[in-house]
Amino acid sequence: MTTRIYNRKIQMSRRKELRKRETTAEKILWSSLRRRNINNIKFYRQYGIGAYIADFYAPSLRLCIEVDGKQHHTETGSEYDAERDNYMESLNIQILRFKNELVIEDTVNIVSEIKRAIKLILDSEKK
């Protein structure tokens, strides 16, 4: 029997709670990612991957997008993020990280950066 690592039931209430309490930056970015708005790619909010919950995840691309608040810029937060990133990378998942402030202040460029990353992934799949 294989162990389920995506959207485990044990995390369901936590994922729902995170969706209810999304930050302003997450709301802004979600409005650009939802409904296949970028390259017809399906993104999910608060998607469980192992013991972690990704802010946004596109399974078809193995692309995780994280929107980082101030708690990520502490020593403890940085250590946790490094551990989480290592885990995601071990599953061949690419991670894009953006600061809350940048998402709020410069959404257009953040979305452009996401589009560039998607293009690189799609181009590499064609090879």
Q: Output the pTM of the full model.
A: 0.92
Give, for 75, the enclosing helix (H) or strand (E).
Answer: helix 75-90
- The encoded tokens of residue 18 equal 């995170």
Q: What is the mean pLDDT of residues 31-35?
A: 96
- How confident is the model over 64-123, as pLDDT tens digits? 999 988 765 677 788 999 999 999 999 999 999 999 999 999 999 999 999 999 999 999
What count of other Cβ atoms lies within 10 Å of the Cβ of residue 26? 23
- How confident is the model over 45-56, as pLDDT tens digits? 999 999 999 999
More reliable by pLDDT, 76 or 15:
15
| Sheet arrangement for strand 63-68 | 44-49, 52-58, 63-68, 94-99
Distance between CA atoms of residues 47 and 37, nearest Å? 18
Domains and CATH numbers, the chain: 9-126 (3.40.960.10)
